[in-house]
Amino acid sequence: MVSILIRACLTYITLVVLVLLLCNLPIVSTSSDLDGDVGSLVERASELYSKGIDISIIIEKLNNAIVSYEEGNVNESSRLLGEARGLIENMSTIAYSVYFSNIVFKAIIVVLLATIPVLVYTLLPRFYLYLWYKSKKKWIVLR
């Protein structure tokens, strides 16, 4: 009876030691690399989006890269990530000019909208008087 108890304790201790040794082994996974790459690319793409650039192509490439990675096509996934990275680099070169042109366009729209009340205030009475004069021009005034 004692030998069975000693054998069970030794088996239990051996299992605990093996589990603890397995917990300390480094886990190598490329998905964390993929997560980091995709995360940084999405962050850079969101900066481009905030500057007014259409990033739907980049998002589509990133989505396809994730799908191909989940299917097991690591080479295809890395190729798509490279394409997305290249698109981001190309678009980031024109990001500031697009941002500036958007700001200028919005400023022009604001100025045009702000001039409408001034124009109505100054030109509407003149237009009204002109129409009134044209419509009453043929009237004959009797004394």
Q: How far apart are CA 84 and CA 86, in angstroms?
A: 5
Q: pLDDT value at position 21? A: 65
Q: How far apart are CA 39 and CA 24, in angstroms?
A: 27
Nearest CA to 14 out of 26, 22, 2 is that of 22
Q: pLDDT value at position 24? A: 63
31 or 107: which carries more pLDDT confidence? 107
Structure tokens at 35: 């997560």
141 or 106: which carries more pLDDT confidence? 106
For 12-70, how does the pLDDT look when each residue is reduced to its tens digit (9 = 90+)?
788 777 676 666 655 444 455 777 888 899 999 999 999 888 889 999 999 999 999 88
- Decide if pLDDT at 119 tops 70: yes
- Decide if pLDDT at 101 tops 70: yes
Angle between helices 31-50 and 56-71 (to 10 degrees): 170
pLDDT-derived band at 143, boundaries 50, 70, 90: confident
Q: How far apart are CA 115 and CA 93, in angstroms?
A: 35
